[in-house]
């Protein structure tokens, strides 16, 4: 009779009651709740960069062509913009007026030379805003000078949009790519990708630490005298995995809840509109599930073996650092696939099992990778899960009763061969 | 014979921990596993229970190799004690019962029974890490026998226990023995082994020194120990060749006779030296056997 259910239950219940698990779960919930209040906060926050009212004093070198009327035209179209003329003042008086009345700035116009004198020179948002105001005025000024009508102006600045269509090797004409759908898919993929990344890092580490804890508390010898090392390892991996799943369900559930509670919900922020949530394609969910589970099993068994190689919990971080690096490469590979799902780097990393759970997933969601590549990637990953579990179980079996100096890589290879 | 180890050898890199060791444990016996520190007792126990694989040799239980038997039919107390520190006593015992194959109800019932038996009632809802070392050991010992195993293997089960708990554990082991369970335990306290065990194995440097029934072993060693007490010259024996003083106590002296020494000659000499109040030929104690067999090298 397999003891895995008993082991999973122990792993799950004893950890779920642990302080650290409860704290991270609650913190995660708080983050999700906090995120849903983010839009109004961000709105208010970014609003403070650009003041609603811009009060600009304009001082022009005397000459024939004054820009002032055009600036005033712009001010009639843009709310909160006040243009004052400084004609008749000298420069010193103009500066004083800006300081005394707390104006946004003094615009010095000298032929083609425009200078903003302000008390708040590092406010990039304000500078940029005034620059665009000035340019709008200058455009109008130039249009009049060249004798262009309003229609001419409109057609001059008319922008066209580039539509993208994909053609598949089969010769069919692809559907037109909807750029908003594409960017929504990117946000969704990024979110799911980040979940895979978090799961691998957090729960992989939890597995390795758990194994090292069992070694350092010396419970290991009792355990291996009652269950096989493979059962022990699988019990731990499944136990920690279900713990992680519960945490994610709680977090995402919180997000959905916040979403339904108000239309300022977190998922709203992430996806732009709440409609997209009901339209998450089922195939994306299935692909996510596949790569999430397979990737977790693959990494968790290696993390377990790594934990079995050390004697004390403090040494865990040293042996898992290389695994963490592999996960980061995977995340990076997935990120490059955002920019171009078919770049050489993305293709290669989507086939290697260490990185494929993240890269192939994002390639599938964002692009249309060749079916052969998907098949190869999934097969390699599945095979690697089996081989990884087998090799890890071997290392685990010997490592768990080995104390003292950590074995070198060569000794580990010998263990696996022997 | 229930447990038979045949020519087991286990090497760790260049150290041979167990060397071509064979021994048998009779079914239902209380079996003493003896050896000086570093003799390979722990390694032997691990090999016997299929926790580590031997390089050579095999171990069978009732004629079947251990690795075919599946786990959990025995109970094992390793020398290195260890429990999950965060779990509560009741939880932990139930868990140990379950992984030894009990269903949930039976595990709970047995846990209650044993907690009472070992007087752990007040501690039953404390975390393991809050318990004293001795109490942790009690919990772990209970964990080996919740499921009433056919075989108990206990590595130094008495180490670290106070006299009250020592006699309690002794009682429990004897009970298991009467139930028909085969009990193997190691100990450094020879008088305890002598008191409890029918059969022993003695190993040194990974090799067999003695194995068999303790009474027969003692008999085969010969009655070559003399206990004498007399009023008079205590050092009379120094004139007789082939005699060695083993110990000198307030009530008697113990002498060891080499082969060929006639006890009657010794008695005559003693009577000449003074009033003899005690003259006895005894079998060697396990302690003496132990020292004689492994003491020279140790």
* Best to test chain A binding among B15, B78, B85, B125 (most A CBs inside 10 Å): B78
A14-32, pLDDT tens digit by residue?
888 888 889 989 998 888 7
Statement to judge: residues A305 and A389 lie in one domain: yes
Of B74, B30, B68, B66, nearest in space to B48 by CA: B66
Residue B119 gets the label, from left (phi > 0), alpha (psi -120 to 50) or beta, of left
A342 and A362 both lie in a single domain: yes
Whether A267 is in a domain gets the answer yes
Asked if A226 lies within 8 A of B72 by C-beta distance, the reply is yes
Considering only residues A184 and A196, tell me which one the structure prediction assigns the higher pLDDT: A196
The answer, for B98 touching chain A at a CB cutoff of 8 Å, is yes
Question: Is the same domain home to A129 and A196?
Answer: no
Question: Hey, is the C-beta of A408 within 8 angstroms of any chain B C-beta?
Answer: no
* Cβ <8 Å between A221 and B71: no
Residue A165 lies in a domain: no
Task: Judge whether residue A165 has pLDDT over 60.
Answer: yes
Please tell me whether residues A257 and A130 are part of one structural domain: no
pLDDT digits (tens, 9 = 90+) for A367-400: 778 889 999 999 999 999 999 888 888 888 778 7
Between B292 and B46, the more confident residue is B46
Residues A211 and A294 placed together within one structural domain of the fold: yes
Q: Which residue of A has its CA nearest to B42?
A: A221
Q: pTM for the full model?
A: 0.76
- Name which residue leads in pLDDT, A382 or A312: A382
Please report residues of A whose CB lies closer than 8 A to that of B100.
Answer: 226
Q: What is the ipTM metric for this complex?
A: 0.80
Task: Name residue B21's beta-bridge partners.
Answer: B8
Sign of CA dihedral A263, A265, A271, A274: negative
* Percent of chain B's residues with pLDDT above 90: 45
Residue A22, chain B, CB below 8 Å: the answer is no
Candidate ranges A54-68, A181-195, A380-394; pick with highest mean pLDDT = A380-394
Distance CA B290, CA B191 (A): 11
- Shared domain check, A268 and A283: yes
- Chain A residues with CB under 8 Å of B72 CB are 3, 226-227
Residue A276 lies in a domain: yes
pLDDT at A275: 46
Within 8 A of A217 by CB-CB distance, chain B residues are 82-85
From chain B, the residues in CB contact with A221 under 8 A are 46, 51, 76, 78, 80, 82
Total number of domains in chain A: 2
Which residues in chain A have Cβ-Cβ distances shorter than 8 Å to B67? none
Nearest Cα of chain A lies from the Cα of B136 at a distance, in angstroms, of 12
B73 contacts chain A (CB < 8 A): no
What are the b/e assignments for A375-403, b being 16+ CB within 10 Å?
A: eebbebbeebbeebbebbbbbbbbbbbbe
Using H for helix, E for strand and C for coil, what is the string for chain A?
CCCHHHHHHHHHHHHHCCHHHHHHHHHHHHHHHHHHCHHHHHHHHHHCCCCCCEEEEEEECCCCCCCHHHHHHHHHHCCCEEEEECCCCCHHHHHHHHHHHCCCEEEEEECCEEEEECCCCCCHHHHHHHHHHHHHHHHHHHHHHHCCCHHHHHHHCCCCCCCEEEECCCCCEEEEECHHHHHHHHHHHHHHHHHHHHHHHHHHHHHHHHHHHHHHCCCHHHHHHHCCHHHHHHHHHHHHHHHHHHHHHHHHHHHHHHHHHCCCCHHHHHHCCCHHHHCCCHHHHHHHHHHHHHHHHHHHHHHHHHHHCCCCHHHHHHHHHHHHHHHHHHHHHHHHHHHCCCCHHHHHHCCCCCCHHHHHHHHHHHCCCCHHHHHHHHHHHHHHHHHHHHHHHHHHHHHCCCCCCCCCHHHHHHHHHC
CATH number at residue A133: 3.40.190
The CA distance from A348 to A153, in Å, is: 50
Of the candidates B78, B86, B101, which has its C-beta nearest A221's C-beta? B78
User: Which residue, A156, A171, A198, sits at the end of a domain?
Assistant: A156
A vs B: CB pairs below 8 A: 63
Q: Do B95 and A219 touch (CB under 8 A)?
A: no
Mean of all residue pLDDT scores within chain A: 82
| A85 in a structural domain | yes
Domain enclosing residue A361, as ranges: 4-43+179-417
**Range name among A389-403, B42-56, B268-282 with the lowest pLDDT average:** A389-403
> What are the tens digits of pLDDT across the range A199-210?
899 999 999 999
Boundary residue ending a domain (A122, A156, A190) = A156
| Chain centroid to CA B5 | 17
**Cα–Cα separations (whole angstroms), residue B90 to A225, A227, B96:** 21, 21, 10
Based on the number of CB atoms within 10 Å of its own CB, is A87 exposed (0-12), middle (13-18) or buried (19 or more)? exposed
Does any CB of chain B come closer than 8 Å to the CB of residue A401?
yes
pLDDT band with cut points at 50, 70 and 90 for residue A357: very high
Chain B residues with CB-CB distance to A11 below 8 A = none
Using 50, 70 and 90 to split pLDDT, how confident is the model at B294?
confident
Q: Are residues A376 and A274 in the same domain?
A: yes
Tell whether A26 and A56 lie within a shared domain.
Answer: no
Are residues A102 and A228 located together in one domain of the fold?
A: no
- How far is the alpha carbon of B128 from chain A, nearest alpha carbon, in Å? 11
Site from A16, A17, A221, A228 to mutate, B interface, most B CB atoms within 10 angstroms: A221
Q: Mark B225-260 as b/e (b = at least 16 C-beta within 10 Å).
A: bbbbbbeeeeebbeebeebeebeeeeebbbbbbeee
Report the alpha-carbon distance of residue B290 to residue B162 in Å, rounded. 25
* Residue A323 zone, left/alpha/beta (φ > 0; ψ -120 to 50; rest): alpha
Q: In chain B, whose CA is at the least distance from the CA of A217?
A: B82
Q: Is residue A189 part of a domain?
A: yes
Q: Are B76 and A225 inside 8 Å of each other by CB?
A: yes
Instruction: Supply the pLDDT for residue A272.
Output: 54
Query: How far, in Å, CA of B195 to CA of A266, rounded?
Result: 73
What are B11-24's pLDDT values in tens digits? 887 888 999 999 99
Instruction: State whether A256 and A282 are in the same domain.
Output: yes
- Smallest Cβ–Cβ distance between A227 and the set B46, B83, B99 belongs to B99
């Amino acid at each position: 009779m397999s003891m895995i259910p008993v082991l999973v239950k122990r792993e799950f219940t004893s950890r779920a009651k642990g302080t650290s698990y409860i704290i991270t779960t609650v913190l995660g919930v708080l983050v999700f709740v906090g995120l849903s209040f983010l839009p109004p906060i961000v709105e208010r926050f970014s609003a403070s960069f650009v003041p609603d009212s811009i009060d600009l004093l304009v001082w022009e070198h005397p000459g024939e062509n004054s820009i002032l009327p055009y600036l005033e035209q712009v001010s009639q179209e843009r709310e909160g913009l006040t243009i004052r003329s400084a004609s008749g003042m000298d420069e010193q008086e103009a500066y004083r007026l800006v300081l005394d009345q707390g104006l946004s700035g003094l615009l010095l116009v000298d032929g083609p030379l425009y200078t903003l004198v302000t008390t708040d020179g590092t406010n990039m948002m304000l500078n940029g805003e005034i620059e665009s105001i000035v340019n709008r005025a200058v455009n109008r000024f130039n249009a009049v000078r060249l004798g262009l009508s309003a229609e001419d102006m409109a057609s001059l600045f008319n922008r066209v949009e580039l539509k993208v269509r994909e053609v598949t090797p089969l010769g069919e004409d692809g559907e037109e790519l909807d750029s908003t759908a594409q960017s929504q898919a990117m946000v969704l993929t990024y979110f799911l990708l980040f979940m895979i990344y978090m799961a691998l890092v957090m729960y992989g580490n939890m597995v390795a630490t758990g194994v090292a804890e069992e070694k350092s508390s010396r419970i290991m010898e009792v355990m291996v005298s009652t269950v096989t090392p493979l059962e022990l390892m699988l019990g731990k991996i499944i136990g920690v995995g279900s713990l992680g799943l519960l945490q994610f369900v709680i977090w995402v559930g919180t997000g959905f809840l916040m979403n339904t509670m108000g239309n300022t919900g977190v998922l709203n922020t992430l996806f732009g509109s709440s409609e997209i949530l009901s339209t998450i394609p089922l195939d994306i969910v299935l692909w996510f599930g596949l790569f999430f589970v397979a990737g977790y099993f693959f990494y968790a068994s290696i993390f377990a073996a790594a934990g079995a190689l050390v004697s004390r919990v403090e040494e865990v971080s040293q042996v898992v650092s290389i695994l963490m690096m592999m996960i980061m490469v995977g995340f990076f590979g997935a990120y490059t696939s955002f920019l171009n799902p078919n770049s050489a780097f993305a293709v290669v990393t989507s086939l290697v099992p260490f990185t494929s759970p993240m890269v192939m997933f994002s390639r599938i969601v964002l692009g249309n990778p060749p079916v052969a590549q998907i098949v190869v990637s999934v097969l390699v990953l599945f095979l690697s899960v089996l081989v990884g579990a087998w090799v890890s179980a071997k290392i685990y079996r010997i490592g768990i009763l080995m104390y003292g100096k950590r074995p070198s890589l060569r000794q580990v290879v010998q263990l696996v061969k022997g | 014979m229930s447990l038979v180890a045949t020519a087991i050898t286990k090497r760790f890199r260049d150290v041979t921990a167990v060397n071509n060791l064979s021994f048998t444990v009779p079914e239902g016996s209380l079996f003493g596993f003896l050896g000086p520190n570093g003799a390979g007792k722990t390694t032997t126990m691990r090999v016997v229970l299929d926790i580590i694989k031997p390089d050579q040799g095999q171990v069978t239980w009732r004629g079947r190799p251990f690795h075919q038997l599946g786990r959990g039919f025995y109970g094992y107390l390793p020398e290195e004690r260890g429990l999950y520190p965060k779990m509560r006593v009741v939880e932990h015992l139930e868990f140990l019962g379950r992984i030894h194959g009990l269903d949930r109800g039976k595990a709970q019932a047995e846990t209650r029974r044993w907690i009472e038996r070992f007087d752990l009632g007040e501690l039953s809802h404390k975390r393991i890490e809050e318990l004293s070392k001795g109490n942790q050991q009690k919990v772990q010992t209970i964990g080996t026998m919740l499921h009433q195993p056919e075989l108990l293997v206990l590595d130094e089960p008495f180490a670290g226990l106070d006299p009250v708990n020592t006699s309690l554990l002794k009682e429990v082991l004897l009970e298991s023995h009467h139930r028909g369970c085969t009990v193997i335990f190691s100990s450094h306290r020879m008088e305890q082994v002598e008191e409890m065990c029918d059969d022993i194995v003695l190993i040194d440097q990974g090799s067999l020194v003695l194995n068999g029934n303790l009474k027969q072993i003692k008999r085969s060693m010969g009655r070559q120990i003399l206990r004498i007490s007399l009023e008079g010259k205590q050092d009379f024996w120094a004139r007789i060749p082939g005699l060695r003083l083993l110990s000198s106590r307030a009530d008697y002296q113990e002498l060891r006779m080499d082969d060929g020494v006639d006890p009657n000659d010794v008695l005559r000499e003693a009577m000449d030296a003074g009033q003899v109040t005690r003259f006895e030929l005894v079998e060697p104690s396990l302690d003496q056997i132990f020292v004689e067999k492994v003491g020279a090298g140790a």
